[in-house]
Structure 1
Amino acid sequence: MTATPLPGTTRPASGSAIRSTARAAILRTYLRVELRRTLRDRRTLVFSLALPPAVFLGVGASADDGTSQVGPETNLMASLLVSIALYGALLTATSGGASVAVERAQGWTRQLRLTPLEPWAYVLVKVLASMAIGAVSVLLTFVVGAFGGAQLPASAWVLCALIAWSGSLVFAAFGLFLGYLLPTESVVKVLGPVLTVLSFAGGLFLPFSDGTVFGDVSRVMPTYGLAELARAPLGGASFEAVAVINVVAWAVIFFAGAVWRFRKDTARV
């Protein structure tokens, strides 16, 4: 015989429901803490927010044919703007790796393992915090580009910005993966040069011709798919399915690698 709740009363929450509610509350709290910590890092903020617009203005001013048309409503400055905005978003996203390396050295990640916070949730919070700053970086770069001579269709302004920002998810996980993989004193020195090499090798700044050795190699770089997708809205250009496959595959690899290294780093707890 089962007990029936009296009228006007509610059935007590199950243990699993209570645990789920507690985890959600911890996740929200930790996300707020991480965002505040990121906003207090003034050096990273200035570097992430000021560098991309400065590069666009500097390169654009020296480009003699920046106003030349590359599409019905698109000029060369627009293509340059999208590439630099995407690079700025990737640079901002990977900065999360440096904070992870510091937290590892301080033993903070092991302390987190004593909480109900799952490894995937910890990685997710880091990714979201990095992408929040990345959104500001992309927006600021596009605002500067609008006043700096970039011309592209109205829909392309929105689509290119959204793709550049959302695509940085891949490199937010990449920064975390390296942050757990490398020693604390090395991760900051490695992230910048590695990202620059990947950007050039993946054709972010200068696309390679199809059928060439460099063109074939660029297709397997983590930056290739993002660059192709971000530039696709310019003049209504299309992209190949390999670009989507490239983005999804590297996102899975980096996110799984970050979770794996987090579990391994805190296995002694």
Structure 2
Amino acid sequence: MTATPLPGATRPTSGSATRSTARAGAVRTYLRLELRRMLRDRRTLLFSLLVPPALFLWVGASADNQATEIGPGTNLRASLLVSIALFGALLTAASGGAGVAVERAQGWTRQLRLTPLEPWTYVLVKVLASMAVGAVSVLVTFAAGWFGGAQMPTSAWVLCALIAWCGSFVFAAFGLLMGYVLPTESVLKLLNLILAALSFAGGLFLPFNDGTPMAAVSRLMPTYGLAELARAPLGSGSFEIVAVVNVVAWAAIFFAGAAWRFRKDTARV
């Protein structure tokens, strides 16, 4: 004879459900901690909120940039604005991810291995926190562009900002990977140099003419696809399949590399 549960009684929670709840709680807690850590980092806030808009106002201040049209209702300042905002988002996301170098030195990543967090969730939390600060960077830079004379259609303002922000997730994973492979004491300096080199080589600031050797090389850079997609709403770029493949391929490489290094780094726990 089967016993009937009493009204209001609850069924025992399965082990898998308990583990899932524990993981979800650990992810939420760690995300809050990561956001607080990044907001307390003055260096990150400086490069996120001050450097990109200041760079735009300095580079784009020329009257020629405002007068030169590159499309209907779009001037050259708008193209410069999108490039600089994307660079600021990439720098912010990568710097946030590279903070893992300090955590490794402090033994924090080994402690995380004792929690319900899995390697992919650790990488995801780092990426989400970096992108949250990157969103602020893009908004502040675009605000400077609005007051600094950049002109483009309303739809382009929205689309360019979204693409620049969403694309930064690729370099959040890149920053994580660099945080594992670069020396702790010089990770940020080296990261800034690498990002600057990749940005120029990928045609982020100055696209290369088609048919030139550098144009072919730039298509292999992880910044190429993002630059093309971010400028597409202005009419100076396009949603070519090669740009999409570039973004997807490099995102997969960086995410896989970051997860692999995290698992290897904490394997002794």
- TM-score band by shorter chain is over 0.9
The structure-2 alpha-carbon separation of the partners of 1:49 and 1:12, relative to structure 1 and needing over 3 Å to count, comes to same
The residue number in structure 1 matching 2:101 is: 101
1-side partners of 2:235 and 2:199: how far apart?
A: 23
1-side partners of 2:126 and 2:3: how far apart?
A: 45
1-side partners of 2:103 and 2:57: how far apart?
A: 36
Q: For structure 2, list consecutive stretches of 5 or more residues without a partner in the other structure.
A: none
The residue number in structure 2 matching 1:184 is: 184
Range with bigger deviation, 89-98 or 74-83: 89-98
The structure-2 alpha-carbon separation of the partners of 1:236 and 1:221, relative to structure 1 and needing over 3 Å to count, comes to closer
The residue number in structure 1 matching 2:77 is: 77
The TM-score normalised by the length of structure 1 is 0.96
Which amino acid is the alignment partner of residue 112 of structure 1?
L
Q: Are residue 244 (structure 1) and residue 241 (structure 2) matched?
A: no
Structure 1 runs (4+) deviating above 6 angstroms are none
The residue number in structure 2 matching 1:170 is: 170
Q: Are residue 14 (structure 1) and residue 29 (structure 2) matched?
A: no
1:220-244 per-residue CA deviation (whole Å, 9 max, x = no partner) reads 1000000000000114853210000
The structure-2 alpha-carbon separation of the partners of 1:16 and 1:246, relative to structure 1 and needing over 3 Å to count, comes to same
1:63, CA displacement in angstroms? 5.6
The TM-score normalised by the length of structure 2 is 0.96
Range with bigger deviation, 37-46 or 163-172: 37-46
1:96, CA displacement in angstroms? 2.0
- Whether the 8 Å contact between 2:47 and 2:88 is mirrored in structure 1 is no
- Whether the 8 Å contact between 1:153 and 1:235 is mirrored in structure 2 is no
1-side partners of 2:237 and 2:99: how far apart?
A: 38
Which amino acid is the alignment partner of residue 139 of structure 2?
L
- Whether the 8 Å contact between 2:222 and 2:247 is mirrored in structure 1 is yes
The residue number in structure 1 matching 2:44 is: 44
Alpha-carbon RMSD: 1.4
The structure-2 alpha-carbon separation of the partners of 1:115 and 1:40, relative to structure 1 and needing over 3 Å to count, comes to same
Q: Among all aligned residue pairs of Structure 1 and Structure 2, give the percentage whose two residues are the same amino acid.
A: 79
Q: For structure 1, list consecutive stretches of 5 or more residues without a partner in the other structure.
A: none
- Whether the 8 Å contact between 1:70 and 1:76 is mirrored in structure 2 is yes
- Whether the 8 Å contact between 1:97 and 1:187 is mirrored in structure 2 is no
Q: How many residues matched?
A: 269
Q: Are residue 60 (structure 1) and residue 81 (structure 2) matched?
A: no
